[in-house]
Structure 1
């Protein structure tokens, strides 16, 4: 498939797990991919996998919590590949487990910094060039706690709910200029992050429900989110800009229902109301 031919995709957190699968799928669809993360050898492995399949990619080591580093990363991307047509914010941290009064304050805030501030930084860096060209798409990954309480994952949940609202604010600001933002929840995927939830003492104590979900067979393939995000990059779900799409969605059904969802203001972060679809 070459739906994304001649486009440039930037994928953060692309060194492993969901991010690697997203980067691979973008390349399979024809995009040239910039793979970003803090760990050089992991993103270099992703680039090697893309190249082994005949794709084009570069590895860019970046700490998304440092805006100057993000600016430098995007300057390099523009210089070597051209401006980004697609930005996927997949980076994430979930290290603080437990009730608020037992969480280490530094660890709790670090989750928020990486998840929320990192997403703000990359969006800020990518948007000017997209707006100047009058086109571009941004996907911000959300997850557990976005639309519901997550008592023992409060830092992660707070950051993800904030990313959902940031996505809505960004989209409302840019859509008139041809730039669209989307939120994507990949679902429960077996990753290094979930491994820590399963096997750390804090995870076993405060998040036992994660193990139960896996025991019940809930384990979403990362390819589900990757294929959905490729569809978003190709414009298939532009009607749902500013809203939440999910890795578990049947994409054909979602396409049939998207006009109705948009009209009903569904898949959005709103106060509960009669007849309103909740996240």
Structure 2
């Protein structure tokens, strides 16, 4: 049975949707949880929900693009809850839809900065402290465009592909020290982000496939990713560190296939079908 008793988890983007479910699941399995996001009201609601279930949680409003603010916030989390065992980077932005020449350049870059730079900032603070203790797990959420093209969603896709490669690099840097990094794709979940894609004029114009997917019945419950991440935090999938796990995965099947995935170097960003120039 999954147990996170006597651990500390930090969940970014934890004020609603997938992030709220991740925070709730961490707490239900025994972790003390710090919930981070920019909107104080939402993360305070998440912390209150955890408290009503008998768990321990604190809310910290922070802009993850602000490096100094991230450093101070995580320092305060450690002071109040203790050393961080699990970091979940769930925060995300996807507001720039359309061909790049039609996208607002500032919105496009905001998506990159929030998603990728925000993940860099939290990992940069947490990983050294985990290495000093010889243990820790980091989970970075990826998504659409991570391994394939995402027409009219280039900023989001580029950031998520970047997070995937960043996760691989981070894991290869820290795994010998007992700190493991994972990527998780939650699947298509109905969230505030997808609502913007569905109902904004730009979304309806440039991303009609999202509506079609929902019409076809594809709507992954956020609990799928949250349960998976709880298992990752508990160590169930340690052999798959540096690789991508998915909310839609059957976790029992995934566990049975771990050795095969590693052997065939699956669930990773790889260039295939061409001869690579050796430098």
Structure 2 length as normaliser, TM-score? Answer: 0.97
CA 1:69 to 1:24, structure 2 compared with 1: closer, same or farther past 3 Å? same
For the residue of structure 1 that corresponds to 2:84, the secondary structure is: coil
Q: Distance in 1 between matches of 2:273 and 2:51?
A: 49
Aligned to 1:46: 46
Residue 36 of structure 1 deviates from its aligned partner by 0.2
The whole-number CA distance in structure 2 between the counterparts of 1:5 and 1:237 is 18
2 CA distance for matches of 1:228 and 1:273?
Answer: 32
Give 1:251's aligned residue.
251
Counterpart of 2:32 in structure 1 is 32
Report the alpha carbon displacement of residue 272 of structure 1 after superposing the two structures with TM. 2.2
Aligned to 2:135: 135
Q: Which residue of 2 aligns with 1:58?
A: 58
Measured after TM superposition, the shift of residue 263 of structure 1 is: 1.1
1:15 alignment partner in structure 2:
15
Residue 214 to residue 2, structure 1, CA distance change in 2 (3 Å) = closer
Aligned position for 1:108: 108
Q: Verify the 8 A CA contact 1:22 1:226 in the aligned structure 2.
A: yes
Note if contact 2:164-2:269 (Cα within 8 Å) is conserved in structure 1.
yes
Secondary structure of the residue aligned to 1:139 is strand
Gaps in structure 2 of 5+ consecutive residues: 275-279
State the match for 1:277 in structure 2.
Answer: none
Correspondence list, 1:98-177, <5 A = 98-177=98-177
Q: Which residue of 1 aligns with 2:269?
A: 269
Preserved contact between residue 2 and residue 30 of structure 1 (Cα < 8 Å): no
| Structure 1, gaps ≥5 residues long | 275-279
Q: Which residue of 1 is the match for residue 218 of structure 2?
A: 218
Structure 1 residue 2: deviation in Å?
6.5
Give the superposition deviation at 1:80. Answer: 0.2
Structure 2 CA distance for aligned equivalents of residues 138 and 119 of structure 1: 10
1:118-171 CA-partner distances (Å, limit 9, x unpaired): 000000010111000000000000000000001100000000000000000000
**Which structure 1 residue ranges, 4+ long, deviate > 2 Å from structure 2?**
none
- The Cα shift of 1:273 comes to 4.3
Q: Which residue of 2 aligns with 1:179?
A: 179
Which secondary structure does the structure 2 equivalent of 1:211 belong to?
helix
Contact 1:2 1:28 in 2 (8 A): no
Name the SS of the counterpart of 1:219 in structure 2. Answer: coil
Q: What is residue 234 of structure 1 aligned with on the other side?
A: 234
How many residues align? The count is 274
Q: Which residue does the alignment assign to 1:6?
A: 6
**Secondary structure in structure 2 of the residue aligned to 1:265:** coil
Post-superposition CA distance 1:229-265 (Å, at most 9, x none): 0000000000000000000000000000011001110
Contact 1:96-1:111 within 8 A present in 2 as well = yes
Question: How far off its partner does 1:100 sit?
Answer: 0.8
For the Cα contact (< 8 Å) 2:2–2:231, is it kept in 1?
Answer: no
Partner of 2:277: none
Determine the structure 1 residue equivalent to 2:199: 199
Q: Does the CA-based 8 Å contact 2:2-2:234 persist in structure 1?
A: no
**SS at 2:153's partner residue?**
helix
Q: What CA distance in whole angstroms lies between the structure 1 residues aligned with 2:84 and 2:51?
A: 19
Q: State the alpha-carbon separation in 2 of the partners of residues 25 and 245 from structure 1.
A: 17
Q: Aligned-pair distance for 1:45? A: 0.1
Q: Secondary structure at the match of 1:65?
A: coil
